């Protein structure tokens, strides 16, 4: 069948690749001039399969007053009169308990590990797992085309109590399939010598050897190159979708289904429409009566060049106290963090960028450039549900499918999410329980 996909970020592009590989006719519609140019463009770069616990967790609400008062808080909240923000916050508050958090974490881990298996199959050129996609793009099979690497990850704790709490979770995490090791200060620095500068501040670290990194934007470009030229694929960049096209079923105007999309350049008819447009999906879906509870968590990043002889980490590092991630992507260090619950678009807050630069300088002795433009500052709107669970599958409206709400985990979960959606459209059983990500609740 012909499937129109709205959005060419990492979720939309993996969905297109998967459906096209299964023989569907696919049209990708994207307002930008290329793939992965918004939230996927300069994200943290970590494929963090073992660290998918939702933002809504026990103890979070007690930190809100501090977040409101501190200008340099890892999470910043600016109240607005928008009722949608308050509905989201109320649902978020209800999810901030141990029971809900544990259940969500289990579901996300299953999806993350499924995604990890599919990504490994992709970079190793597994034809069966790629659905017989065929074709070859230099670098995509070994991952070099998007700087893919299995570097492992260190969660560095500066507070002894926080480290003790993390160590107590090791057995529980192991029961969920995570392979992690607790390291004391000296073992941590021995494993990653670039942390020598803050040795005295380290209480300990949790090491997960299986975590990966990659350039999300270049991954999207690699997928586009795979799809270009295929007879069953059309990539329409620079095309703004203005609405969903509806029609009556068998002439009954009271019983309608989605039969395509309206664009600024004319209509595109389709047997099914997949909306994977991130936070921009909300206004597009509203006229169809579908109201996903999404709110943008604005995140920031800088990209620090790594000169020869510079001491920069080889292993991915998360500074737990400051909620900042460091990922070596090729010859650069991607530094990302912050979660701003604010209205407005992806405008760059210079104060947030300066904070990332200052922390990078303090931890590794690099990145503290006076000219922050040299650090390629970026901001993106990560579309989050209150619970942290994405919405994947058929909506309540016939012909309309969703693949949205991945928050900060879009790159990590994209391959698995595309697989779940393709399974649902084919009417076959998925490798994991697809009901965990029920899209009919929107």
Q: Name the residue ranges covered by the structural domains of the chain.
A: 2-44+102-145+216-292+387-441, 61-98+150-210+295-384
Per-residue pLDDT, 128: 41
Pick out the chain residues at pLDDT < 70. Answer: 67-69, 126-142, 251-254, 369-370
CATH code, 61-98+150-210+295-384: 3.30.9.10
Residue 391 neighbours by CB under 8 Å, 6+ apart: 292, 385, 402, 403, 404, 405, 437, 438, 439, 441, 442
Written as six digits, the tokens of 197 are: 């500068």
Q: How far apart are CA 13 and CA 222, in angstroms?
A: 10
Angle at which helix 98-123 crosses helix 83-95, to 10 degrees, equals 100
Per-residue pLDDT, 341: 85
Per-residue pLDDT, 369: 67
- For the segment 217-243, what is each residue's pLDDT rounded down to a tens digit? 999 999 999 999 899 999 999 999 999
First to last CA, the chain: 25
3-state secondary structure of 327: strand
- Right CATH number for 2-44+102-145+216-292+387-441 from 3.40.50.300, 3.90.25.10, 3.40.50.970, 3.50.50.60? 3.50.50.60
- For the segment 132-191, what is each residue's pLDDT rounded down to a tens digit? 444 445 556 667 789 999 999 999 999 999 999 999 999 888 998 999 999 999 999 999
425: left (phi over 0), alpha (psi -120 to 50) or beta: alpha
- For the segment 79-93, what is each residue's pLDDT rounded down to a tens digit? 788 899 999 999 999
The 3-class SS string of 92-157 reads: HHHHCCHHHHHHHHHHHHHHHHHHHHHHHHHHCCCCCCCCCCCCCCCCCCCCHHHCCEECCEEEEE
Q: How far apart are CA 373 and CA 296, in angstroms?
A: 24
């Amino acid at each position: 069948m012909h499937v129109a996909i709205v959005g060419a970020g990492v979720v939309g592009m993996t969905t297109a690749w998967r459906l096209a590989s299964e023989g569907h006719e696919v049209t990708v519609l994207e307002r930008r001039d290329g793939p992965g140019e918004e939230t996927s463009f300069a994200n943290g770069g970590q494929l963090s399969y073992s660290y998918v616990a939702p933002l809504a967790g026990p103890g979070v609400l007690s930190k809100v007053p501090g977040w409101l008062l501190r200008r340099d808080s890892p999470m910043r909240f600016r109240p607005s009169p928008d009722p949608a923000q308050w509905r989201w916050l109320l649902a978020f508050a209800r999810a901030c308990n141990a029971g809900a958090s544990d259940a969500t974490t289990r579901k996300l881990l299953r999806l993350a590990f499924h995604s990890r298996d599919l990504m490994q199959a992709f970079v190793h050129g597994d034809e069966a797992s790629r659905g017989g996609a065929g074709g070859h793009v230099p670098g995509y099979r070994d991952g070099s085309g998007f700087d893919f690497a299995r570097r492992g990850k260190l969660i560095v704790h500066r507070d002894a109590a926080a480290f003790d709490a993390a160590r107590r979770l090791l057995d529980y995490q192991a029961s969920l399939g995570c392979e992690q090791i607790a390291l004391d200060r000296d073992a941590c620095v021995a494993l990653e010598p670039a942390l020598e500068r803050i040795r005295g501040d380290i209480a300990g670290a949790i090491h997960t050897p299986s975590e990966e990194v990659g350039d999300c934007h270049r991954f999207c470009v690699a997928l586009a190159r795979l799809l270009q030229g295929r007879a069953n694929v059309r990539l329409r960049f620079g095309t703004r979708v203005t609405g969903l096209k509806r029609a009556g079923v068998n002439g009954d105007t009271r019983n309608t289904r989605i039969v395509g999309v309206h664009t600024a350049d004319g209509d595109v008819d389709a047997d099914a429409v997949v909306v994977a447009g991130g936070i921009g999906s909300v206004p597009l879906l509203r006229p169809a009566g579908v109201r996903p509870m999404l709110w943008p968590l604005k995140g920031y990043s800088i990209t620090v060049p790594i000169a020869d002889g510079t001491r920069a980490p080889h292993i991915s590092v998360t500074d737990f106290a400051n909620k900042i991630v460091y990922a070596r992507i090729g010859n650069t260090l991607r530094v990302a963090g912050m979660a701003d619950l604010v209205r407005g678009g992806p405008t760059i807050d210079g104060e947030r960028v300066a904070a990332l630069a200052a922390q990078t300088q303090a931890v590794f002795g690099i990145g503290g450039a006076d000219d922050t433009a040299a650090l390629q500052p970026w901001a993106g709107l990560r579309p989050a549900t209150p619970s942290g669970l994405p919405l994947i599958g058929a909506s309540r409206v016939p012909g309309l499918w969703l693949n949205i709400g991945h928050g900060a985990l879009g790159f990590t979960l994209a391959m698995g999410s595309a697989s779940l959606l393709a399974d649902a459209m084919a009417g076959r059983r998925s490798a994991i329980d697809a009901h965990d990500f029920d899209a009919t609740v929107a």
